[in-house]
């Protein structure tokens, strides 16, 4: 049973095979079967352009290192420049090291690629010390001190109230039984009531 709607026919004139997984030539954009998809196996009209786009990096015969060339540059001229310069090392593409962000926590020597800045003290830290509690952030403890001072001020704001509370506690202690109340034992209703003196 043939399924002509699935797949495509090979563009090679001698083949025309129905292929369910066809290949498309990247130079001439025609569709080919598995046998004819390579540049050498079909008559590609853009074969000259395809060979010019060959991006092989030549290797120096003296130092066995690749010699980078720019697009459109003659590899022979570049190789001659490389050999006449004494086979120098090829330049790297990155100008600065990747891990430049060092941790500011005391005793930590970790470096990271991405800066992690504390919102409170504006210093850079590693992942381990990124939280304020982990790097003992100096700005984290300052807001806590005024809160402690405010709570101590509240107790000393109303000294007359504190004096009345202390006097009431003394009067209860001197009243007997250490300020405890006694319950009446006669009847069920009396058990629940407290005698006030």
d(CA 90, CA 57): 12
pLDDT value at residue 126: 92
pLDDT value at residue 124: 93
- As annotated, the residues of the chain forming the CATH 4.10.1110.10 domain(s) are 1-54, 96-139
pLDDT at residue 182 greater than cutoff 60: no
Top CATH class, 96-139:
few secondary structures
Burial of residue 169 (CB within 10 Å: 0-12, 13-18, 19+) is exposed
* Tens-place pLDDT, residues 136-152: 888 875 544 455 555 55
Give buried/exposed letters for 87-115 (b at 16+ CB in 10 A, else e).
eeeeeeeeeeeeeebebebeeeeeebeee
The answer to whether 124 and 115 have CB atoms below 8 angstroms apart is yes
What's the average model confidence in pLDDT over 116-121?
A: 90
The answer to whether 18 and 34 have CB atoms below 8 angstroms apart is no
How is residue 66 annotated by DSSP?
B
Relative orientation angle of helices 159-174 and 144-157, to the nearest 10 degrees: 60
Q: What would the two tokens of residue 163 be?
A: 């004096």
d(CA 180, CA 49): 107
Q: HSE on the CB side for 169, CA within 13 Å? A: 6
Supply the pTM of this predicted model: 0.28
Q: What would the two tokens of residue 54 be?
A: 């060959």
* Tens-place pLDDT, residues 27-81: 888 888 888 888 778 878 777 665 556 567 888 888 888 888 887 778 888 889 9
Q: Which CATH number fits domain 1-54: 4.10.1110.10, 3.40.50.2000, 3.50.50.60, 1.10.4190.10?
A: 4.10.1110.10
């Amino acid at each position: 049973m043939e399924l002509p709607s699935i797949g495509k026919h090979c563009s090679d004139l001698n083949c025309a095979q129905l292929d369910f997984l066809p290949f498309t030539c990247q130079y001439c954009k025609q569709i080919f079967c598995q046998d004819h998809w390579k540049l050498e196996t079909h008559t590609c009209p853009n074969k000259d352009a395809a060979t010019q786009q060959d991006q092989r990096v030549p290797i120096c015969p003296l130092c066995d290192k690749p010699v980078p060339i720019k697009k459109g540059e003659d590899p022979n001229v570049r190789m001659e420049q490389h050999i006449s310069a004494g086979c120098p090392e090829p330049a790297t593409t990155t100008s600065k090291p990747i891990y430049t962000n060092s941790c500011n926590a005391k005793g930590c020597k970790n470096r990271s690629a991405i800066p992690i800045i504390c919102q409170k003290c504006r210093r850079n830290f590693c992942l381990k010390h990124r939280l304020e509690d982990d790097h003992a952030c100096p700005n984290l403890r300052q807001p806590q001190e005024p809160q402690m001072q405010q709570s101590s001020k509240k107790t000393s704001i109303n000294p007359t109230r504190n004096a009345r509370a202390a006097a009431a506690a003394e009067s209860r202690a001197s009243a007997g039984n250490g300020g405890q109340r006694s319950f009446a034992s006669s009847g069920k209703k009396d058990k629940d009531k407290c005698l006030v003196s």
